[in-house]
Amino acid sequence: MWAVAEIETKKQLQDKSLLFWTLLLPIIFIVGFMAIFSSNAPDKTAVANQIITGFSVFFSIFIIISMTISFVKDRERGFVARLASTPLTPGGYFIGKWLPFVAIVIGQIAVLAAVGIIAYDMTIVQPFLYFLIVVLLAVMVTSWGLAIAVFSKTENTGIVMTQIIAFAGAILGGLWMPYEILPGIIQTIGKFLPQYWTHQALLSTVSEQSSGVNIGVALLILLAYTLLGFALAFAGYRKFLRTSKS
């Protein structure tokens, strides 16, 4: 398991495109949105809180692309079939592949928070809860990545699924704008999505004022979606293994 994790970590560190998707592009979006929406805003810190936490949730989804590409390559190169002939269990393979991506998402959101604190005076009022939510978000997103990766026939399948999840979640979950100004029907649908609960929970930790969301409920929803992701991933493993080149 640890050998798989070590190999995966080295592969991802050598992937320059990952740096673009996880850090460079989110920072460009944050700087651009802050320039547009904070220039005449009476409370620039509130705008920064909304934008930085929203984009942290939004861009975390894109790790699914890297996960799908990695799993598809493992299958096409016969790496999965060779591992299946060793004592390594499916759970060990999944955990070894999964851990580096969890660390990447946590690091990504930590860097975006640092940008908010240094450049836009964002203050994390409840740092422990902020970190806990970030960790659970990383675990949930990467569990989805596992599920999508084992069911994806090609890399393009993963890219399309990621874009649907990311953009639909951003619009319905109010990641790009204050949730209160969205139409009622969108607000209703958005409350079924973990992106909404995660974003509102993060907002409660960066402001003295609560967003109105119970953080405990938000954590339970993140946990439920995580279990769903893992369940789907394990359900698809046998098919994934059968289609691996030997």
> How does pLDDT run across 222-246, given as a tens digit for each residue?
999 999 999 999 998 888 887 776 6
Say if residue 81's pLDDT is above 80: no
H-helix or E-strand spanning residue 46 = helix 44-60
Burial class (CB in 10 A: 0-12, 13-18, 19+), 122: buried
Kindly state the tokens that stand for 146: 């596992």
H-helix or E-strand spanning residue 193 = none
Angle at Cα 78 formed by Cα 76 and Cα 82, nearest 5°? Answer: 160
Kindly state the tokens that stand for 136: 């659970």
Angle at Cα 126 formed by Cα 121 and Cα 131, nearest 5°? Answer: 95
Residue 3: band (very low, low, confident or very high) from pLDDT cuts 50, 70, 90 = confident
Express each pLDDT in 179-225 by its tens digit.
888 888 888 998 999 999 999 999 999 987 777 788 999 999 999 99
Residue 37: band (very low, low, confident or very high) from pLDDT cuts 50, 70, 90 = confident
The residue among 100 and 78 whose pLDDT is bigger is 100
pLDDT of residue 223: 96
Residue 21: band (very low, low, confident or very high) from pLDDT cuts 50, 70, 90 = confident
Q: Are 146 and 94 in contact (CB under 8 A)?
A: yes
Q: What pTM value is reported for the model?
A: 0.91
Burial class (CB in 10 A: 0-12, 13-18, 19+), 45: middle
Residue 114: band (very low, low, confident or very high) from pLDDT cuts 50, 70, 90 = very high
